């Protein structure tokens, strides 16, 4: 648990910093999200290299997604994804009923529009991890009720 607090603080500060430094220039929401996403991407790439060091080779795409839901999520957020759904045509929905990075926010509807800021980094994280495993994807996230959120992974066929 102790190693988790620094990550959360850093993540919060990161968001603060990025949004603050862009305030004077055109407050462009999209660009900030992209910045956060790209940071996540690079970290995801490095992280997956570490985590898959001692695992067997993956069979297929589903095998990879399961790894993301279990081992990857556990190592970053100390819990597994609660629900993984797929249409078997390249779309996966990862549902986390108590997403760590939204944990400190009020559970009401008050901060709902702030949520995308807190999800961008993680979207990048997942995208980076998948891309390093040879799966090109688009990852988006949505929140309906506060600590729960859904990540949608769309696999790009080459």
Interface residues toward another protein, by CB under 8 A: 42, 45-46, 48-50, 52-53, 55-59, 132-134
What's the min distance (Å) between Cβ of 128 and another protein?
Answer: 9
β-bridge partners, 143: 149
Relative to beta strand 83-86, strand 91-96 is: antiparallel
What's the min distance (Å) between Cβ of 56 and another protein?
Answer: 4
Please tell me the distance from the alpha carbon of residue 89 to that of residue 154, in angstroms, as a whole number: 9
Q: Which is nearer to another protein, 133 or 139 (CB)?
A: 133
What's the min distance (Å) between Cβ of 5 and another protein?
Answer: 22
Got the DSSP string for 9-38? Answer: HHHHHHHHHHHHHTTSS---HHHHHHHHHH
Q: Which is nearer to another protein, 53 or 157 (CB)?
A: 53
Q: Which is nearer to another protein, 44 or 101 (CB)?
A: 44
Please tell me the distance from the alpha carbon of residue 110 to that of residue 17, in angstroms, as a whole number: 22
């Amino acid at each position: 648990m102790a190693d988790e607090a620094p990550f959360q603080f850093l993540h919060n500060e990161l968001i603060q910093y990025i949004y603050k430094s862009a305030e004077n220039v055109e407050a462009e929401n999209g660009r900030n999200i992209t910045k956060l996403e790209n940071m996540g991407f690079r970290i995801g790439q490095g992280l997956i290299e570490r985590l898959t060091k001692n695992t067997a080779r993956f069979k297929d795409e589903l095998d990879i997604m399961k790894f993301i839901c279990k081992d990857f999520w556990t190592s970053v957020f100390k819990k597994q994804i609660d629900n993984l759904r797929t249409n078997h045509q390249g779309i996966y929905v990862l549902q986390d009923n108590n997403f760590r990075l939204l944990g400190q926010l009020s559970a009401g509807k008050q901060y709902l529009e702030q949520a995308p800021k807190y999800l961008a980094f993680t979207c990048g994280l997942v995208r980076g991890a998948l891309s390093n495993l040879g799966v090109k994807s688009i990852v988006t996230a949505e929140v309906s009720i506060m600590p729960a959120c859904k990540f949608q992974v769309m696999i790009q066929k080459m």
